[in-house]
Amino acid sequence: MTPETVEAYGVRLRLFRPGDTGDVVAGCADPVTRRFIPAMPHPYTEQTARWWITEGAPAAWTAGGAAYAIADPRSDRLLGGIGLTLLSAVRGHWELGYWVTPAARGRGVATAAARALADAALAAGAGRLELLTLLDNGASQRVALAAGFRYEGDRRAAGAPQDGVRHDMSVWVRLADDPPGPVARLLPDLPAGRLTDGVVTLRRLAPDDADALYRLHTLPEVVANRVPPAPPTRDWAERRCHLAEHHWLAGRAADLAVLDATTGGFAGGCALFYDEPSTGQAMLGYSLLPEARGRGFASRAVRLVTDWAFDIGLARLWAGTREENVASRRVLEKAGFRREGLLRGRLPGPDGTRVDSVLHAVLATDRPAGPAR
């Protein structure tokens, strides 16, 4: 299907050779490779690498796919591996997968190789290419976007078992008629990785935030405003923190940690849920730890997120509060939100009851002219 050698975007894709053995071992025995490609043989030895070079890779070609070494076009030194697996010849459907050696990471090698192979496969007649990643593999999802693959959804239990557990996979797809080049994201990264006004700082929620997030969401007053109004498990906090980057890259949500800009300590959370991309509308939610309240942190955080959201092209943000939550309504008012009405029985309450929600919203056109507040 594809040629034996492809050279584009600063990388060379070629057949594996016996001289690649040491570099194949270095890449495939690496803990990061094993973490995100659990089907990789373990332990990965020189014997394993030699089998791959002499039998495994040729078998991939025989089965209708492809198996390439990613090489530096100047030195021909192996930088990783990339290939195609035939899913359906009738539908012109292949899956693309790759790995890179530790020394080659952070240099754009994976993106270049994925673009080169995708271009070659589509030019050779493929109609659909899939790239699957574990949900917490943000680096690989960034490669997919940069190589022209679009997020399509999550596939339940599609990953190879890890310690007896099957994991969900995110699906990224490139079609023959998709425009070339990187895919524009609904939710770009924060400028310099953060938003700050010198008093509060916002950054993407990270795995190390799990303890603080769990403490926050098990506070009785926060539980009362959760949907449903029940305390979460510790596993929920772990999963939310580990998958924050995935949801951001997929365009679903910008999940943020609110920090005290002076101490750097965790003060709370603020999240923008992109509930209606077609209309440019997103929902905003926030909560603070007790020691951070009464210091204006919530209003500052909401204002920072609001300005960023409108800067990246959103048109409308909305938030809901309980009628009795006067403090939260004041936070929204200070950030420019206006009360729009009452949604009767919108939220599930305790013991099967329903709770009203006061609707507040702010439009991009509500912002004053001039620089961000």
Q: What is the pLDDT of residue 372?
A: 43
Residues near 107 by Cβ (< 8 Å), separated by ≥ 6? none
Task: Return the CA Rg of the chain.
Answer: 24
Query: All domains of the chain, ordered by start, with CATH?
Result: 6-175 (3.40.630.30), 191-366 (3.40.630.30)
Q: What is the pLDDT of residue 293?
A: 95
CA distance 47 to 42: 12
What are the distances in angstroms from CA 198 to CA 192, 194, 259, 260? 15, 11, 11, 9
Q: Which residues of the chain have pLDDT under 70?
A: 369-373
User: What is the number of alpha carbons within 13 Å of residue 336 lying toward its C-beta?
Assistant: 21
| pTM greater than 0.85 (yes/no) | yes
The pLDDT tens digits of the residues spanning 52-88 come to 999 999 999 999 999 999 999 999 999 999 999 999 9
Q: What is the pLDDT of residue 350?
A: 84
Closest Cα partner for 130 from 157, 98, 96, 100? 96
CA distance 297 to 357: 23
Q: What is the pLDDT of residue 369?
A: 55
